[in-house]
Chain A
Amino acid sequence: MTRPFLSIQAIEKTYGAVVAVKDVSLDIAKGEFMTFLGPSGSGKSTTLYVVAGFLEPTRGDVLLEGKSVLSVPSNKRNIGMVFQRYTLFPHLSVADNVAFPLKVRRRPKAEIDAKVSAMLKLVRLDRMAERMPAQMSGGQQQRVALARALAYDPPILLMDEPLSALDKKLREELQVEIKRIHAETGVTILYVTHDQEEALRLSDRVALFNAGRIEQLGTGRDLYETPATRFVAGFIGNSNFLSGKLDRRSSTACAIVLPDGVRFDAAPSAAIEPQRRDVEIMIRPDHFRLHNGERDDGLPKMTGTVTDTTYLGEYTLIAVRTAWGVPLTVRLPPGAALPDIARGQTIDLTCDRANLRVF
């Protein structure tokens, strides 16, 4: 394997007894769009701030193209960053904001002017060069911040929840812009967000943070389809969890008995310690299959009562309560919906072995 472009190695950050980040390691390839996803306080921003140089890690190292950057002060790291809050320099015009990093670097004026106009074109604000930040909307300000962060061709662009202050429509608009700019410039991006949809939409790979550690690192598809832990399964997408007892386990299969006695077979999970008996199975809402009892595909079935059905056009949501009282959500594509599902009706639910996950 070739040397990684940016390598975060066993970073740990503690504040007294409080551990903010614990043993976080990951490699990022040149040109990759990597997102740190996680709830607030999970350590994703702390890790980003270590890369930016605003925080010094208690342990660990950060290597850029093989060289440690920890001893390099923030202003010499040549890293671009867009912040969660609006950080345009309030007394400078848009053009002067974008020119600032180049002026600090004492570049010749002609080069600065050319770069500023190229950058403003990149973020489609070339007509607003003379505006002051206070005269612009939040979305426009973040575009300028992006232009400013890219003006000096940094090898890495850090983005700390840059869209979280914007409303949904603007946020989606800017996500498209960020994706386009990533494609046009080829810059390596480290992006922090707590919005899973944003993470899946933008990133090549996602590192899901929880309680200071990386819970799982992979593509959005990896995280959704093969979640490594209960936390990942619960955080990414909607999930149904059913508690049960582990009945039998071998190297190739395990069986879980649900409270009503139904046995489900599943692939064994490495996440379960040998002695544990109490487990949970996870089924995505769209992986259920419903039966009226007329057909038998040989799969184990649990019985439930329909408590509500909601038709939403693109899909239909059916709320089901199991015989022992656990609410489940079932999602059916429009063609697949059984026409006669009514509230109060009893139905059988089943799920393919491949779509069951045990935690």
Chain B
Amino acid sequence: MLLDFDRLGLFRIVLVGIALLVGAFLLLPILLIVALSFGSSRYLQFPPPAWTLKWYAALFADPDWLSSFATSLEIAVTVMIVATLIGLMASFGLTRGRFPGKEVLRALFLTPMVLPVVVLAVGLYAFFLRLHLNGTFAGFVIAHVVVALPFAIISICNALERFDKSIEDAAVLCGASPLEAKIRITLPAIRLGLFGAAIFSFLASWDEVVIAIFMASPDLQTLPVRIFSTLRQDLSPVIAAVSTLLVGLTIVLMLLASLLRKGKPA
């Protein structure tokens, strides 16, 4: 390769330095939030005068925060299931189907990834006004499925394209009906793709805030929405504690996803 890392000489140090700076720039704000959530200062003083868990105690004592947490979880889990199921069916169509306009359809499925989220949110809001879905659980789920679906489809399509259709054909000749062959042979064989789709669909909903702000009602607020609205009135360290939990769960799921990717499909 032209730019072989091992042959860059002194420039390597510069490169590593830049990489470290970028990494720090990305990670430090998150680390700061985590540190503040354990700090005793009411006014988010840094460095914290003392360490405490009281903001977490306050968080778990507040029914509003807890209900937001439950709402976020319920919506994200539902989105995960719905997006993975629809993604699975769409992926079968996109990888196996032979019909005109297949590539257009694939592009259409992936548009929510490139469309500005605000545009999508306004569009969905206007559309849901007519259907009276704004502020409902169903509205939340449908809106988030739209955002999560591209991730599910990419993950499952990749797995299906790597899966040799002859294996499914062999199962059919062995006597399994086409549906039985898919359930007993194809799905277990592409399970890593399915897990990936599930994790990314969950995350797409779990930390989504723009659409959620449009969809939310006073009694139906996800965690990111409550953080956002609370921030506007009051700068409480409880927010830092919530954010830390939010980031924590995301990190755990991302680690799980990368572990799955590394693990060979045994």
Q: Which residues from B are CB-within-8-Å of A235?
A: none
User: Is the pair B189, A90 in contact by a Cβ cutoff of 8 Å?
Assistant: yes
Q: How many angstroms from the CA of A53 to the CA of B172 in the assembled complex?
A: 10
Do B171 and A100 touch (CB < 8 A)?
A: yes
Tell me if A231 counts as interface (CB < 8 A to partner B): no
**Which one of A73, A91, A148 lies within 8 Å of B189 (CB-CB)?**
A91
A101 within 8 A of B: yes
Q: Out of A73, A77, A81, A91, which one reaches B170, CB within 8 Å?
A: A81
Question: Chain A's nearest CB lies how many Å from the CB of B159?
Answer: 12
Whether A134 pairs with B264 at a CB distance below 8 angstroms is yes
Instruction: Decide if A148 touches B166 in the complex (CB within 8 Å).
Output: no
Within 8 A of A (CB), among B183-209: 184-185, 188-189, 191
The total of chain B residues at the interface (CB under 8 A) is 23
Neighbouring A residues of B181 by C-beta, 8 Å: 75
> Is A52 in contact with chain B by the CB < 8 A criterion?
yes
User: B173 contacts the other chain (Cβ, under 8 Å)?
Assistant: yes
- Report whether B173 and A79 are in contact in the complex, using a CB–CB cutoff of 8 Å: yes
- Is there a chain A Cβ closer than 8 Å to B24's Cβ? no
B151-191, CB under 8 A of A: which get 1 and which 0?
00000000000001011011111111110110011001101
Most buried by B among A52, A74, A78, A148: A74
Q: What's the dominant secondary structure at chain B's contact region?
A: helix
How far does the alpha carbon of A62 sit from the alpha carbon of B131 in the complex, in Å?
55
On whether the beta carbons of B189 and A89 are closer than 8 Å, the reply is yes
Interface range on chain A: under 10, 10 to 19, 20 to 34, or 35 or more? 20 to 34
- Compute how far the CA of A152 lies from the CA of B170 in the bound complex, rounded to whole angstroms: 13
B175 CB to closest chain A CB (Å) equals: 4
CA distance A100 to B180 in the complex (A): 12
Q: Which of A52, A76, A87, A134 has the largest count of B CB atoms less than 10 A from its CB?
A: A87
Q: For the complex, is B265 an interface residue (Cβ under 8 Å from A)?
A: yes
B175 x A101 contact (CB < 8 A): yes
A145 at the interface (CB under 8 A from B): yes
Which B41-67 residues have a C-beta within 8 angstroms of A?
Answer: none
**Residues of A with C-beta under 8 A to B266:** 90-91, 132, 134
Contact A75 B265 (CB under 8 A): no
| Residue A104, interface by CB 8 Å | yes
Q: Does A83 contact B (CB under 8 A)?
A: yes
How many angstroms from the CA of A310 to the CA of B167 in the assembled complex?
47
Are B173 and A75 in contact, CB atoms less than 8 angstroms apart?
Answer: yes
- Does A85 belong to the interface (CB within 8 Å)? yes
In this complex, which of B173, B265, B266 has the most chain A Cβ atoms within 10 angstroms of its Cβ? B173
Partner-A contacts on B (CB < 8 A): 164, 166-167, 169-178, 180-181, 184-185, 188-189, 191, 264-266
Contact sample, A vs B, 30 pairs, CB 8 Å cutoff: A74-B172, A75-B173, A75-B176, A75-B177, A75-B181, A77-B173, A79-B173, A81-B170, A81-B173, A83-B166, A83-B169, A85-B164, A86-B164, A87-B169, A89-B171, A89-B188, A90-B189, A90-B266, A91-B189, A91-B266, A100-B171, A101-B174, A101-B175, A104-B174, A104-B175, A105-B175, A132-B266, A134-B266, A145-B170, A152-B175
